[in-house]
């Protein structure tokens, strides 16, 4: 149980285009989903937290107009990288959580984004 899928696993796009990444909880309802980014040799850095039906909360330094997050249902959240640039190339990974103080976050397998 507690499987999270993420699609696509890898995407290459041209500079200036927008890319949408989907994160789905397959066998449970996720009250909260998180989006992280990881640069080489760095830790997972939280970008934003989204609760179903409400606006996402972005971490300091993360542009909300560039990284659009939609959490339309209890099983789906999407991250859209708008007008992508080479510096947005990174590994993006989502996680999903059910309500509770010490509940585990269940992670997707991640998406490798390369912007040319």
Contact footprint for other proteins (CB under 8 A): 4, 31-32, 34, 36, 41-46, 49, 51, 93, 95, 97, 99, 101-110
**Beta carbon of residue 73, minimum distance to other proteins (angstroms, whole number):** 16
DSSP-derived 3-state class of residue 86: helix
- Please say whether the beta carbons of 115 and 84 come within 8 A: yes
Write the DSSP assignment of 14-64 as a string of letters. -TT--EEEEEEESSS--SEEEEEEE-TTS--EEEEEEETTSPPEEPTT--T
Nearer to other proteins, 14 or 99 (CB): 99
Task: List, in sequence order, every residue forming a beta bridge with 90; answer none if it has no partner.
Answer: 113
**Beta carbon of residue 29, minimum distance to other proteins (angstroms, whole number):** 13
Nearer to other proteins, 79 or 108 (CB): 108
> How crowded is residue 30: how many other Cβ atoms within 10 Å of its Cβ?
28
Q: Is the peptide bond before 59 cis (omega within 30 degrees of 0)?
A: no
Nearer to other proteins, 48 or 81 (CB): 48
**Beta carbon of residue 86, minimum distance to other proteins (angstroms, whole number):** 24
**Beta carbon of residue 88, minimum distance to other proteins (angstroms, whole number):** 20
Nearer to other proteins, 18 or 73 (CB): 73
């Amino acid at each position: 149980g507690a499987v999270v899928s993420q699609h696509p696993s890898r995407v290459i796009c041209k500079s200036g285009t927008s890319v949408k990444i989907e994160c789905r909880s397959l066998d449970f309802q996720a009250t909260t989903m998180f989006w992280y980014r990881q640069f080489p040799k760095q830790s997972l850095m939280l970008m934003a937290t989204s609760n179903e039906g409400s606006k996402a909360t972005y971490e300091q330094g993360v542009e909300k107009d560039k990284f659009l997050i939609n959490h339309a249902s209890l099983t789906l959240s999407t991250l859209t990288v708008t007008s992508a640039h080479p510096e947005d190339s990174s590994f993006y990974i989502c996680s999903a959580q059910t309500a509770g103080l010490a509940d585990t976050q269940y992670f997707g397998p991640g998406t490798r984004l390369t912007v040319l």
